Amino acid sequence: MLAQTVDRQTVHKMIHHFYAKLLEDKLVGHYFINSLGDNLENERWKDHLTTLDNFWLKMMTGKGAYGGHPFPPHAFLGEMYIETFERWLELFKEALNQFFIPKIADKFYKKSEILAAQFMYNLDIGNEED
């Protein structure tokens, strides 16, 4: 059944599924494998998944323990492209729709699009005028 509320448990389930899919993906998986390894059960991944749970709880409810800066780690992942972000967004949308009712899935997705656009802007990706 699709979740109708955003809480630690529902966010965690969606996030865990999303990152399992990202890891398997040809376009984006390698960024995560290079940075955190290929096993979601290792300590780095466990820490990362907790960070992401906290981040999305904060983004969606205003509560939660995330107090970091989401962009900086992305400046050190190697070359990324518009296609990398499009794939990330596509997989995120799939995961959201598998776990949350449409109204909540859309709210998550809109927030992720805004951040992805900011990250691309910071990384000078997709800026045709340069």
- Per CB under 6 A, the list member of 49, 57, 60, 80 interacting with ligand HEM is 80
The count of residues interacting with ligand HEM (CB under 6 A) is: 21
**50 binding ligand HEM? (CB under 6 A):** no
**Is 74 within 8 Å of 31 (Cβ atoms)?**
no
Q: How far is the CB of 30 from ligand HEM (least distance, A)?
A: 9
**Rg (alpha carbons) of the chain, rounded to whole number:** 14
Measured distance CA(27)–CA(108) in Å, rounded: 22
Query: Binding segment for ligand HEM among 7-15, 28-36, 100-108 (CB under 6 A)?
Result: 28-36
**Is 100 within 8 Å of 108 (Cβ atoms)?**
yes
Measured distance CA(87)–CA(127) in Å, rounded: 18
**68 binding ligand HEM? (CB under 6 A):** yes
Residues contacting 90, CB < 8 A, separation 6+ = none
Applying CB under 6 A, which residues contact ligand HEM?
28, 31-32, 35-36, 48, 51, 55, 68, 70, 73-74, 77, 80, 84-85, 88, 112, 115-116, 119
